[in-house]
């Protein structure tokens, strides 16, 4: 039997990258998927791809950092399919590489609004539907940038560290309800968000150097994050709660070292 048979899932940031890969994987495992994204065309494309493959999906457009939009998407899933079992709060924005002295409070506020307040709103409003049923799995996208330094600019790293704290504190806030809250912490993954950086490194002939940062000597792909999200969303992870799991090829397993060093 498919691992998510009979379950209803909402995925934010489902129009591309990790969100899109997860939406497609959830659907192949039997879930009904509501693909939520700020970009109407990409959200619709994800839902269309799921339906073309024989799955069940709908698309919605909105801002993952706006409470009214977040509340609306969960209400819509319940209204259409009668329940809400899984939420993947994945939507996020990059920080860019701006020197500390040139960063502005306005840019910090926007990154925190989407990357941290967005997952908070997902936990808040998803649990409203899950707690009465005594079950549910919420997975948030954090990052290795929230674990160690030098993986992201200051506000991005701070937002992802906040997501890690959010899932831990929320797991205890929802203690005894049957609702689990966890996070995935991707490493260097080739997505639309990271593609400009990787392309620039290719131009400079430094892509191989970037790949050497991990013991696996390569970058990750969105489907490699999606498989962990699938596990956390499924009943197989019924005793996994309040955790932030790094999927990073081993990037966070060691202190920084010279990428040219030989073992």
pLDDT of residue 151: 81
Domain holding 174: CATH number? 3.40.50.720
111-148, pLDDT tens digit by residue?
A: 999 999 999 999 999 999 999 999 999 999 999 999 99
pLDDT of residue 95: 83
pLDDT of residue 223: 97
Q: Is the pLDDT reported for residue 206 higher than 90?
A: no
Residue 212 within a domain:
no
Q: Which of the following is catalytic: 156, 231, 239, 257?
A: 156
Q: Is the pLDDT reported for residue 55 higher than 50?
A: yes
Residue 96 within a domain:
yes
More confident residue, 207 or 122: 122
Q: Is the pLDDT reported for residue 263 higher than 50?
A: no
71-109, pLDDT tens digit by residue?
A: 999 999 999 999 999 999 999 999 887 889 999 999 999
Q: Could you give the number of structural domains in the chain?
A: 1
Residue 3 within a domain:
no
Please report where in the chains the tokens 């997952």 appear, as a residue: 119
Residue 203 within a domain:
no
Q: Is the pLDDT reported for residue 37 higher than 60?
A: yes
5-25, pLDDT tens digit by residue?
A: 999 999 999 999 999 999 999
For residue 128, the number of C-alpha atoms closer than 13 Å in the C-beta half-sphere is 14
Residue 255 within a domain:
no
Q: 3-40 in b/e burial notation, b at 16+ Cβ within 10 A?
A: bbeebbbbbbbbbbbbbbbbbbbbbebebbbbbbbbee
Query: What is the 8-class DSSP label of residue 220?
Result: B
Contacts 24+ apart (CB under 8 A), 6-9: 6/30, 7/31, 7/32, 7/85, 7/86, 7/233, 8/32, 8/34, 8/77, 8/78, 8/81, 8/82, 8/83, 8/84, 8/85, 8/86, 9/33, 9/34, 9/85, 9/86, 9/87, 9/88, 9/233
Rounded to 10 deg, the angle between the 67-81 and 118-130 helix axes is 30
Residue 72 within a domain:
yes
Residues 36 and 57: beta-carbon distance below 8 Å: no
More confident residue, 261 or 254: 254
Q: What is the band of 260 on the pLDDT scale with cuts at 50, 70, 90?
A: very low
How long is the chain?
A: 263
pLDDT of residue 256: 63
| Domain span holding position 97 | 8-191+222-247
Query: What is the 8-class DSSP label of residue 113?
Result: I
217-254, pLDDT tens digit by residue?
A: 888 999 999 999 999 999 999 999 999 999 999 999 98
pLDDT of residue 179: 98
Residue 257 is among the residues annotated as catalytic for this protein: no
With CA atoms as reference, report the closest residue to 35 among 26, 129, 111. Answer: 26
């Amino acid at each position: 039997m498919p691992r998510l048979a009979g379950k209803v899932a909402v995925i934010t940031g489902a129009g591309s990258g990790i969100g899109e890969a997860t939406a497609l994987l959830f659907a192949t495992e039997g879930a009904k998927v509501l693909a939520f994204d700020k970009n109407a065309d990409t959200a619709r494309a994800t839902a269309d791809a799921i339906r073309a493959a024989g799955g069940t999906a709908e698309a919605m457009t909105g801002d993952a950092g706006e409470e009214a939009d977040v509340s609306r998407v969960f209400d819509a899933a319940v209204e259409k399919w009668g329940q809400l079992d899984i939420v993947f709060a994945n939507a996020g924005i990059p920080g860019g590489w701006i020197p500390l002295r040139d960063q502005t409070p306005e840019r910090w506020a926007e990154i925190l609004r989407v990357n941290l307040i967005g997952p908070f709103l997902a936990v808040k409003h998803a649990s409203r539907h899950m707690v009465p049923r005594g079950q549910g799995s919420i997975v948030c996208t954090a990052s290795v940038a929230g674990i160690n330094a030098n993986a992201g600019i200051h506000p991005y790293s701070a937002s992802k560290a906040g997501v890690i704290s959010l899932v831990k504190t929320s797991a205890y806030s929802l203690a005894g309800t049957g609702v689990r809250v966890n996070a995935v912490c991707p490493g260097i993954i080739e997505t639309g968000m990271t593609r400009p950086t990787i392309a620039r490194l290719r131009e400079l002939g430094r892509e191989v150097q970037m790949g050497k940062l991990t013991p696996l000597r390569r970058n990750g792909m969105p489907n490699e994050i999606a498989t962990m999200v699938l596990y956390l969303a499924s009943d197989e992870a019924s005793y996994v709660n309040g955790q932030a799991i790094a999927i990073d090829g081993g990037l966070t397993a060691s202190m920084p070292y010279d990428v040219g060093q030989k073992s």
